[in-house]
Amino acid sequence: MIKRPIAIDLFAGAGGLSLGLEQAGFDVLAAVEIDPVHSCIHKYNFPNCGMLTQPIEMVDGSSIRKVAGLTPRAKIDLVAGGAPCQGFSLIGQRALDDPRNQLVKEYIRIVEELQPSFFLFENVKGLTVGKHRQVLEEIISDLQSVGYSILSPWKVLNAKNYGVPQSRERLFLIGAKKGIELPDYPEPENINHITCEQALGDLPDAEDFEELLCSDEVPFKYLKASSGYSSLMRCTNNVSWKYGYKRKWNSKLLTSSLRTNHTEISRRRFIETKPGTVEKVSRFFKLSETGISNTLRAGTDSARGAFTSPRPIHYKYPRCVTVREMARLHGFPDWFRFHETKWHGARQIGNAVPPPLAYALGRQLISVIQPDLEQPGESISLGDPNLLKVDMSSASKYWGIENPIARRDRKNGSKKRKQEEIEALRVANG
């Protein structure tokens, strides 16, 4: 069997970066994610990847190597991840010493401990401008101090230029151990941008299925033949899998498509909103059939009110897009599953690096590593479907950790939580 380069995914979420790197030719052997529900989704889609569901502060290089099945001296080719960062500048002080930027320091610590040949660091575009620039400069300086050269100048890449039907700008830093050749950033693909119709046009209307009022999946038949982008998402040929492992999945199920019960007032507003503009009351963006999606956001986690992601309005139907349609707009193939709820599912997509963009970056790294790659001949089964249905309590129990919401509740009180839940339901129902 041909040995593939080894990657570790920090702050992994549901696995957008993991998927793109796998498709590029890496074996992602371990992932670290603090949210137990996200960890369950990652485990479902990547059943052979070791998972550490812990705060990054509690993780060290040896524990990552152990869960990845690696010896203490085994070579690691890549450490990748997007450490959340407040980007706060303190006059006369190091910005990374601010407690709010602790996660970035932990990322650098893990890189130093694992000593990979390369690292890939992802963050928001805002880190490159204004007072936040101090944080970026300190990140680069600290990574250089632990033995890495940084590809310069750093770049902000837009996913729309790499086969994703969405405008999404993110900063990427690429580093290599001093003495190892650095790759280049991927060049924008010389193609027309994928449109919303090309991404979603072959999918049926979720509101045609009563079952999707209480379930996120239903048997169905495609009404429209696939080609181009939709064919890639439906995995109708070997090209769809790139250098990733084929999954055994049921292509006759429409998944991640739980419906939203919008009011008739909301529906009228959605109809009256012009494509490519923002609906005035909900502030939801209405997709254009011939355009691309706005940046898909994650909403907030349970510690900040559990507000649902502001999913855009479908260009054809008077409703917000489903989680599956969000996945299409983000570059996730149809076999990839998310949590059955709209809140968790949308968060998992909004927080993810679009897989096609991750693939483009991964291929640049592969071009320097130069392994003798071929498409894997084996297919792997997806994980336990129960992982798609867990709540925070059962997910925490699955990983053997304390419930993060329980910690928040003891701190903030149940009255505030109840108010947040009511508001979250109001937003979700339009």
Spell out the long-range contacts of 364-368 with Cβ–Cβ below 8 A and sequence spacing 24 or more.
364/174, 364/183, 364/184, 364/185, 364/186, 365/5, 365/24, 365/77, 365/78, 365/118, 365/120, 365/174, 365/183, 366/5, 366/24, 366/25, 366/26, 367/183, 368/118, 368/176, 368/180, 368/181, 368/182, 368/183
pLDDT category, 137, cuts 50, 70, 90?
A: very high
Q: From the CA atom positions of the chain, what is the Rg in Å?
A: 21
Structure tokens at 173: 């830093």
Digit-coded pLDDT (tens) for 203-251: 999 999 999 999 999 999 887 777 899 999 999 888 999 999 999 999 9
pLDDT category, 407, cuts 50, 70, 90?
A: low
**Mean pLDDT over the full length of the chain:** 90
The mean per-residue pLDDT over the stretch 16-29 comes to 98
User: pTM higher than 0.85 for the full model?
Assistant: yes
* Strand pairing report for 253-254 and 218-219: antiparallel
Fold match between 6-190+353-381 and 196-349?
no
pLDDT of residue 77: 98
Please determine, for residue 417, whether its predicted confidence score (pLDDT) is greater than 50: no
374 φ/ψ sector (left φ>0, alpha ψ -120 to 50, else beta):
beta
pLDDT of residue 207: 97
The mean per-residue pLDDT over the stretch 143-161 comes to 97
Domain 6-190+353-381 classification at class level: alpha beta
**Distance between CA 321 and CA 327 in Å, rounded?**
10
pLDDT category, 300, cuts 50, 70, 90?
A: low
DSSP, collapsed to helix, strand or coil, labels residue 253 as strand
The mean per-residue pLDDT over the stretch 294-315 comes to 74
Residue 32: is it exposed, middle or buried by C-beta count within 10 angstroms (0-12/13-18/19+)? buried
Please determine, for residue 365, whether its predicted confidence score (pLDDT) is greater than 90: yes
User: Among this protein's residues, is 85 annotated catalytic?
Assistant: yes
Contact 41, 337 (CB under 8 A): yes
Kindly tell me the sign of the dihedral angle through the C-alpha atoms of 153, 158, 160, 165.
positive
Catalytic residue among 49, 85, 235, 320: 85
Distances (CA, A) of 398 to 23, 52, 122: 28, 12, 29
Q: Which of 80-94, 260-274, 410-424 has the lowest mean pLDDT?
A: 410-424
- Which candidate, 272, 229, 220, places its Cα nearest to that of 251? 220
- Which tops the pLDDT comparison, 221 or 354? 354
Structure tokens at 328: 């299409």
Please determine, for residue 94, whether its predicted confidence score (pLDDT) is greater than 90: no
**Distance between CA 139 and CA 120 in Å, rounded?**
12
How many CA atoms within 13 Å lie on the side-chain side of 64?
34
Digit-coded pLDDT (tens) for 81-91: 998 876 665 55
- Which candidate, 156, 153, 161, 3, places its Cα nearest to that of 77? 3
pLDDT category, 50, cuts 50, 70, 90?
A: very high
Which DSSP string do the residues of 1-56 spell out, in sequence order?
A: -PPPPEEEEES-TTSHHHHHHHHHT-EEEEEE-S-HHHHHHHHHH-TTSEEE-S-G
pLDDT of residue 279: 96
Please determine, for residue 190, whether its predicted confidence score (pLDDT) is greater than 80: no
The mean per-residue pLDDT over the stretch 240-265 comes to 96
* Strand pairing report for 169-177 and 118-124: antiparallel
The mean per-residue pLDDT over the stretch 359-365 comes to 98
Q: State the distance between the two ends of the chain, measured CA to CA, in whole angstroms.
A: 52
pLDDT category, 415, cuts 50, 70, 90?
A: very low
**Distance between CA 31 and CA 78 in Å, rounded?**
12
Contact 194, 162 (CB under 8 A): no
pLDDT category, 343, cuts 50, 70, 90?
A: very high
pLDDT of residue 298: 84
Give the CATH superfamily of 196-349: DNA Methylase, subunit A, domain 2 (3.90.120.10)
CA dihedral 409, 415, 416, 422 (to 10 degrees): 110
Structure tokens at 229: 């982008």
Contact 191, 185 (CB under 8 A): no
pLDDT of residue 412: 47
Most confident of 269-283, 368-382, 413-427: 269-283
pLDDT of residue 2: 64
Residue 170's contacts (CB-CB under 8 Å, 6 or more residues apart) are: 82, 122, 123, 124, 125, 156, 157, 159, 353, 357
pLDDT of residue 237: 86
The mean per-residue pLDDT over the stretch 35-45 comes to 98
Task: Enumerate the domain spans of the chain.
Answer: 6-190+353-381, 196-349
pLDDT category, 427, cuts 50, 70, 90?
A: very low
**Distance between CA 15 and CA 7 in Å, rounded?**
13
The mean per-residue pLDDT over the stretch 318-344 comes to 97
- Which candidate, 241, 184, 182, places its Cα nearest to that of 374? 241
Contact 216, 256 (CB under 8 A): yes
Residue recorded with tokens 């993060």: 404
Please determine, for residue 54, whether its predicted confidence score (pLDDT) is greater than 80: yes
Kindly tell me the sign of the dihedral angle through the C-alpha atoms of 161, 165, 168, 170.
negative
